[in-house]
Amino acid sequence: MTITNHELFESARTASKNAYVPYSHFPVGASLLTEDGTLFTGCNIENASFPLTNCGERTAIFKAISEGHQHFSALAVYGETEDPISPCGACRQVLVEFCQPDMPVYLVSKSMDVKTTTVGELLPYSFKNLS
C-alpha cells in the first residue's frame, strides 16, 4: 500500500494528540515514512527536567531505528500553529545522521498548510563523522 502525502500529514497531526506537554502546552507530531512504506509516528515528550524533553521528530526517528528501519523517504512535522513550525537544531542533526540531504520534509500548520523543504536545506554544511 502506498502512503499519500495527505496520509503522511494526517498521521503527523494524529500523533500530536499523544504529545506529553504539561509545561509548554505545545503539541508536536511527526510522521516518518520508510523506503519500504512503513510509517513511524512520534510526539514531543516533556520532562520536569526540561532539557530531557524529546521532540516529536526525534521520537519518530528513534522509534524507526529501534525497530530496524534506517532508510527513509519523507518526514512530516505538524504543529498546532498558524504558520508551520520547523525542526530544532538537535532534530536537524539527527535527521542528517539518518536521511539523505534531498529527502523531503513537510512542515504542516494547524490549517494543514504545508511548507516543503529538505534535510539538506534545514542543515547545510552539516557535521558528519568522517572517520
Binding mask 28-67 for ligand THU (x = CB under 6 A): x---------------x-x------x-xxx----------
| Count of residues that interact with ligand THU, criterion CB under 6 A | 15
Nearest CA to 106 out of 117, 95, 97 is that of 117
Q: How far apart are CA 74 and CA 103, in angstroms?
A: 6
Position among 18, 26, 93, 115 found at the interface with ligand THU (CB under 6 A): 26
- Sheet strand arrangement including 39-43: 39-43, 28-34, 72-79, 104-108, 114-118
> Strand 39-43 vs strand 72-79: parallel, antiparallel, or unpaired?
unpaired
CA distance 19 to 122: 23
CB closer to ligand THU, 35 vs 113: 113
Of the two residues 2 and 117, which places its CB atom closer to ligand THU in the complex?
A: 117
Active-site residue, selected from the candidate residues 57, 82, 97, 121: 57
Residue 88 interacting with ligand THU (CB under 6 A)? yes
* C-alpha to C-alpha distance for 67 and 107, rounded to whole angstroms: 25
Interface residues with ligand THU (CB under 6 A) are 21, 24, 26, 28, 44, 46, 53, 55-57, 77, 85, 87-88, 91
Catalytic residues: 57
